Structure 1
Amino acid sequence: MQQATFNVGTGDEIAARVADDARADGGRRMILLDPRYVTIKRRVRGMKMHLSVPIENYLGVVIACENQPEGALYRISLAHRDPELCVTLKETRDRPRSLDAWRRWAAFFAMPRLVERDAGEWETVALPPLGAKAGASAFPRRHTPLAKRRPRRRSRCKAAISATRPSVFRGEREIICYE
């Protein structure tokens, strides 16, 4: 595969690049990335192919470390059960940049972050989201200016739904016996 990297876009931008493909004519394919789907365009034996794969079909964003004589190589890719549909997003030797890119791509696709332990074996990693500080809670703070705008009780409690309805008898007379 060609080792060009994508840049994580902001908003609904589409990232694109050309990658090597052994089965395609000319050994090239075009990959278009969108937060909702991945499109692979290539030509095989003179026939144009456009594969549009929904992002839900991918397993997650994987980071793998490969030890080489020059140093560790970190590869970030979009993992799929079919190896032909896996997409390499970035390769770098810089560990902090690779971890940052790994989190950004996972956020871009809203996919889980995975770590490759062995070839084809991935493990889900639970890390704090981008911009989160250590020990920071995910809930809004009580003493913020916005906290005064909404009732606190309603924001904390869910509405109770009664499973059984009380029986109501209309037009009936009550019989009372005092014996």
Structure 2
Amino acid sequence: MGRQTATAGSDPAGSSRAIRLDPHSLPVSFEAHDQRADGSVRHIELHRERVILRRAIRGMRMAVNVRVSDFLGVAVRGLDDAKMLVLAHRDPALSIPLCVSSDRVEIDTAWQMWSAIFALPQLPEEVVREPAQRRRRHNAIRARRPKFLVRRRAGGLLGEAGTYRGEREIIARD
């Protein structure tokens, strides 16, 4: 199975011209625009089960491996004079451009094909999702105490349990 480049040798992903990735010839390897990466370019490998993003930030190279099932779906985003088809992720930095075109019919057919290939829903057009907020830790003391001590109630009856009032003590003498 051969590799495919973005737009079959024309401009890379993220340029102003139309890109068209073929969903039936996966895996696909191409470059996309990334504001924060060195050289403003990230390398993307798109497989049926996973996506690998490779980029360098301030000289530190990294590869992010994301399962396709972790993506929200396939979304259409509006550009100035065209539409862009995107594999949308909760974190916008991990979203992947799939197709850019000014032809609405072409975008609709590609939208259906990519959605069927990845078994992901087609997201409505202008839905802008914010990154998920970090979860708060509900029980901060749990990490510091052993589990059985977290269950156990502390204090209360310890001082009162050993005190006897109003009774005569029996002391054994040798």
Return the TM-score normalized by structure 2: 0.60
CA distance in 2, matches of 1:50, 1:6: 24
Report the alpha carbon displacement of residue 6 of structure 1 after superposing the two structures with TM: 4.5
Question: Sequence identity of aligned pairs in percent?
Answer: 34
Q: How many residues align?
A: 116
Match of 2:43 among 30, 37, 44: 30
> Alignment partner of 1:117: what SS?
coil
User: Structure 1: which amino acid aligns with 2:67?
Assistant: P
> Alignment partner of 2:109: what SS?
helix
Alignment of 1:2-41 (within 5 A): 2-3=14-15, 5-10=19-24, 13-41=26-54
Report the alpha carbon displacement of residue 119 of structure 1 after superposing the two structures with TM: 3.0
Return the TM-score normalized by structure 1: 0.59
User: Structure 2: which amino acid aligns with 1:117?
Assistant: E
The equivalent of 2:58 in structure 1 is 45
CA distance in 2, matches of 1:115, 1:18: 26
> Alignment partner of 1:35: what SS?
coil
CA distance in 1, matches of 2:21, 2:105: 16
- Which structure has the highest helix share of the two? 2
- Which structure has the highest strand share of the two? 1
CA contact (8 A) 2:34 2:42 kept: yes
Report the alpha carbon displacement of residue 64 of structure 1 after superposing the two structures with TM: 2.9
The equivalent of 1:93 in structure 2 is 102
CA contact (8 A) 2:76 2:126 kept: no
Runs of at least 5 residues in structure 2 that lack an aligned partner in the other structure: 1-12, 131-174
Report the alpha carbon displacement of residue 118 of structure 1 after superposing the two structures with TM: 4.2
CA distance in 1, matches of 2:99, 2:46: 13
Runs of at least 5 residues in structure 1 that lack an aligned partner in the other structure: 122-179
The equivalent of 1:111 in structure 2 is 120
CA distance in 2, matches of 1:109, 1:97: 18
CA distance in 1, matches of 2:19, 2:45: 12
Q: 1:117 to 1:22 in 2, by over 3 A?
A: closer
